[in-house]
Amino acid sequence: MAKQNPKKDVVVIGLGWTGAILSMELAQEGLEILAPECGDDRNTVSDFQYPDIIDELKYGIRYKLMQKPSKFTLTVRRSMDEIARPYRHLGSFLPSDGVGSAGVHWNGQNWRPQKVEYRLRSYVEETFGADVIPEGMTIQDWSITYEEQEPYFDQFEKVAGISGKVGNLNGEIIESGNPFEAPRSSEYPLPPLPHTYDAELFRQAAKAKGLHPFPRPAGNASKAYTPMACSSNPAISAASASGSVASTIPSPHRRPAFWTR
């Protein structure tokens, strides 16, 4: 006999990094949230702490945080005449399994789009001519502008605890930051990750040639940070994004109007 649970205002499918942030935003508005998850429940300290989370054998070879093809897979065929066969081993596309898996194995790069990307069709037509766009190609401009979205980029970076160095602050180019980025309204909430030895050698060589090396923005916490009332441990720059990314996961559980299954 089917069990009927009490209705909730919102159902968030998957309680990872994105689902946790969304659930917190909704809970702050007084809504009741249910977050179903297909895999194991996890917590920041017990499951994502360093150095356990960078166990290469467990996670890089045996894919502990990924869905197993023996339980869930895809089929492929090269023509309509072939019988579709299931994948036995997945390649670069690795669906995650359980709370926080996708965010933890994400490498942490956190780039904003360029302003020109919001009007890509117009840019191509103005720069190269409309004739270079093939008939039927779906390239088009966005219906919103970078300026409209910038406050939300800024809010997300502060919620997530992104590490980096601003290069364009309200139109002013800042030394050692990314001079090619679109204007930002504020600095990153955390300083950039420290350079490894080889990265520092690369920076010095590029600078000597008159280029503009800069630290890339990262979803790895460069120092202790508290996003969404949940402490974030510093992440090692060579590790996966196990710092500020994973720290948002426990936050919704502190809300009385939040449930997960």
The DSSP bridge pattern shows strands 258-260 and 172-173 to be: unpaired
pLDDT in tens, 16-56: 778 888 888 888 888 999 988 888 888 777 777 778 888 88
Q: Report the predicted TM-score, pTM, of the whole model to 2 decimal places.
A: 0.77
Cα 230 from Cα 73, distance rounded (Å): 35
Instruction: Please list the alpha-helical segments (H only) found in 162-252.
Output: 197-208, 244-247
Structure tokens at 246: 């994973």
Closest CA to 16 of 65, 57, 56, 59: 65
* 109-127 residue pLDDT tens: 899 999 999 999 999 999 9
Res. 223: pLDDT tops 90: no
- pLDDT at residue 236 tops 60: no
Separation of alpha carbons 153 and 185, rounded Å: 10
Rounded CA gap, 183 and 112, in Å?
Answer: 10
Over residues 173-198, the mean pLDDT reads 94
Min mean pLDDT across 97-106, 217-226, 231-240 is at 231-240
Q: Can you give the pLDDT at residue 40?
A: 82
